[in-house]
Every structure is written in structure tokens, then in C-alpha cells.
Amino acid sequence: MTHRSHLPSTTPTAGLFQSRLSKQITAWVFFSIVSIEAVLFIPSYVRREAEELYRLETVSKEVLTTVKTDIIGEMPRQRLLSRIQLRENSLIKGVALYDTRGQKVDSIGEAPEFEPTTFTAPVGRPFWRDWLAATMATNSSAPTAVHSRTEEGTRYDVAWPNGNMPYMLAIRHDATAVQKTMRQYVLGVAGLVLIISAFVTWITLMVLQRIVIQPLLRLKGDLSVVGEAIAQGKTPDFDSLKRIAPNELGEVSTAFQAMFERIQQEIRDRQEAEMGLRQEQAKSDRLLLNILPEAIAAQLKENEDNQGAIANRFETATILFADIVKFTELAAGTSPTQLVCQLNDIFSAFDAIAERHGLEKIKTIGDAYMVVGGVPSPQTDHAQAVMAMAIEMMAFAEKYPLGDRQLCLRIGINTGPVVAGVIGTKKFSYDLWGDAVNIASRMESHGIVNRIQVSEDSYLQLKERYLFEDRGYLQIKGRGEMRAFLLAETKKQS
């Protein structure tokens, strides 16, 4: 079941320029527009400069016309420039006259300087900027002029080839005003470009902020609370889903919600599976502990490959065997189901007594019950604990309702060294081996009904606390004569 969470989802409150994405987009858009405008500005600048320089050339056309008139009138060459008057503020700063070999004939003012090869070289190969200026001429039949500017750009020289004339005229112009005009032109265009770029960038950013950046910031805020929401098993109110854009970003938001719900469901399924596994593991552990002691079960789990047997030797332990007397006669007069239920009641009571005294039940064989003290965990008073259990078992048998019959037990106890462990690979069981086990079984089989019989080794462990009757020596099969004792009563504490 999905729970709606009141977890605060992060709302994008960042301004236009507070997000890194906004800053990056702003920078890229602004510099892209400026770069494009700069590329487009270069030819515009060249053409504008060519127009300004051509205007200077139009001023010198009057001088060119005057000189041509004097040449046609066959005025001596020393007097061809005599009629030209240069004023202080004139745009024309100097004039020079060259012959057909490129040698300077006469000059006035700041004479323009051209190499002789300038006039003898083939016409038609001017620099591209000079060619643009030349294309501004309205008289296409006029000879192509040769242009030159000083290194600092304040002077602009123009020379006209002779055509059919015996002389060539070169004029120097003052280009300072052109420089100033071009600086103003550059500043004006640059300011306009910056304003346009800033405006276009702002509009672009406003659109992107609404269409892209804000949805992304909302999605980022939702992602930041997903971890906490998953940990708490709740579903937050995602901001990105409150305003789903009708584009790919809206599809991303929808896919994000679907992914979150799928992950959340998978986590719930996994948690439920893990809980089920833990419950099954606990159940398996309980079943295993009903079969094996806890320490042995832990060893068995660690021994995953089941390499070798699990066995331990205990130098001293006390073993108890109990047998229901005349069980065969009892079974003959009782239905199988009722018999099994009665055995279950009796042995379950014995199990509870063993657990109270910290003893380890080993097994039941038919109507026989076997328990040990001091195994698998060492116990200093194992003999006393086993005897206390035997006394309680006798007390239980006296009170157990069995119709017109009485539940009679025969109990034998022995103390000695044993080997305990688990062998085999199937249907594990914890068992005991050793001569001490056989003697305990013989103490029970050679015992007396409703009495507790112990070996001499157990007697030595218990004589300070209990009173016993000496039965003397009994003939034990496989062992010969052995001394046995019957419990008389509990010895009073002084």
C-alpha cells in the first residue's frame, strides 16, 4: 500500500542566474551572438571605410581635372601645379606629379611617396580594400587609381595612371577624420551589438527558464527527497508532477514517477521476501535446535561442505536412561493414536524437566528416554542436575493419570568420559558414545521398578548430598561384576 508523504519536496526558487545551467546558457548564447555579429561586422566595416576614403577621392577630382586641363593646354610641367592652392584646413595635404617613368617631376605640400614601379606595374591588381574603394567610382571608364595609406593611417594617398597623358598625378589626403568616423562607427555598432545580444539572450533565457530550467530544478528537488522517501516507505508529493509540460521533459517527469513507484514496489517486495526468509530461517533454527544442541547446530552451519564428523570428547559427564515398565502390556490395551499421545505427554514433560536443569536430551528409543548432563557445555554439577531430574521424573510418574494402571519407571545413572557429536550426512542426530553410556544403560536394565539406580562413579559424585542403599555387586553383561546403589532419600542439609 502506498502512503502519501508529507515530506517537503524542494521547490525551485532559484532566480534566472542562480542556477549553473542558466549561467552556462547565458554565456553561450551571448557570446555566440556577439561572435556572429563580429564576423558580419568585418565586411561592413571595410565597406564603410572604403566609402569614407572614396569621399576623400572625390575632393581631389577637382585638382585632377585642373591638371588635366593644363596638360591639354600644353602648360610647361614646372607650372602644372602652380594653380593648386592648399589651405590650412584642406583635406588635401599635398600633390605630386610624376612622368611616365615614375620619376617625380614636381610637388607641393606633403608630397605623396610612390615607388617608380607603382606606375609601371600592371594595373588591375590593387589590394582588396583599394579595390572596394575603386568600385565606388561612378565613372567606370576612368583609369584605375592606386591607393596607399601611411602606417599610422592619418594620410591617404591616391595616384591616377597617365592613361593617354604624359604625366601621372598623386594626391595626399588627410585621413584623420576618417579614423575618427570609423572609431565612432565601431563604438556605435559595438554598443548596438551588445544591446541586441543582451536582449536576445534575456528573451532566450526567459523562455528556457520556463520551458527547461524550472522543470529540471523541480525534478532535481524531487530526486533529492527520493532517498528519504524510500527509506520511510512513503511517496512524496512530487513538484515535477504538478505541472507536467507537454514535451519531452514532461515525459521524463512521468517516467521518473513510474520508475520511483517501480523501485518502491520492488523494495517492498524485497523487504517482504526478506521478512519471510527471516521467519523461515527462525523456524528452521527452532526446528534444528529441537534436534541438536545450539553449539552443535552452530558448528554444523559453519561446516557447510559437511567435511568430516563433528565430535568432542568430554572427560566427565552423567548419563541417565529411563524406561517405562511394562510398556508392551500398556500398548496392547491402548489404541495406537492414544498410545502416541500418552508418550508425547510423558516425554514432553521429561523435556521440560531437562530444560529446567540445563540438561541435554539425547534421544528416545521406543519407550526409553536418554538425557545427559555436562554435554555439550561443561557443567560442574552435572551429576547433581541429573539426579534432580530423575527425582522429578519419578514424582511425575506417580501423579500421571493412566486409568487403572500406574506409570512405572526404571532409571539408571552413570558418570564417566564420553564422546559426543554428529556423524553421517543425512538425518543428523546428536549422540553419545563410550563405555560410560553402556554402563548407564545397564544400570537402567538391571534396576528396580520405581527406583533410581546409580553406578559407583555416580555414587561418589552424589553421596555428599543424597542417601543411597548399597546393592552390592551386580553381574553386568560384558563388564562382569559392578557395584550399584539405589537412591534412598535426599540427604538433609546441615
Nearest-angstrom CA–CA distance, 232 and 5 = 9
Give yes or no for a contact between 209 and 29, defined as CB atoms under 8 angstroms apart: no
Give yes or no for a contact between 148 and 127, defined as CB atoms under 8 angstroms apart: no
Q: Which three cell numbers stand for residue 151?
A: 602606417
Question: Which comes out higher in pLDDT, residue 301 or 159?
Answer: 159
- Which of 121-135, 275-289, 477-491 shows the lowest per-residue confidence on average (mean pLDDT)? 121-135
Question: Which comes out higher in pLDDT, residue 45 or 390?
Answer: 390
DSSP state of 410: E
If DSSP codes are grouped into helix, strand and coil, which group holds residue 147? strand
Do 263 and 229 lie in a common domain?
A: no
Count CA atoms within 13 Å of residue 161 on its CB side: 17
Peptide bond into 376 cis (omega under 30): yes
Do 335 and 463 lie in a common domain?
A: yes
Domain boundary among 234, 259, 291: 291
Do 279 and 401 lie in a common domain?
A: no
pLDDT of residue 118: 67
Could you report the per-residue pLDDT of 76-124, keeping only the tens digit for each?
666 677 667 777 777 888 888 887 777 787 888 887 877 777 666 544 4
Could you report the per-residue pLDDT of 407-439, keeping only the tens digit for each?
899 999 999 999 998 877 777 788 999 999 999
Count CB neighbours of 110 within 10 A: 18
Do 238 and 260 lie in a common domain?
A: no
Do 282 and 305 lie in a common domain?
A: no
Do 159 and 12 lie in a common domain?
A: yes
Do 195 and 228 lie in a common domain?
A: yes
Per the structure, the complete domain to which residue 287 belongs is given by 246-291
Please tell me the pTM assigned to this model: 0.51
Nearest-angstrom CA–CA distance, 121 and 186 = 35
State yes or no: pLDDT of 30 exceeds 90.
Answer: no
Do 45 and 4 lie in a common domain?
A: yes
Do 250 and 237 lie in a common domain?
A: no
Do 226 and 370 lie in a common domain?
A: no
Nearest CA among 296, 278, 269 for reference residue 423: 296
Do 58 and 129 lie in a common domain?
A: yes
The whole-angstrom distance between residue 266's C-alpha and the CA centroid of its chain comes to 18
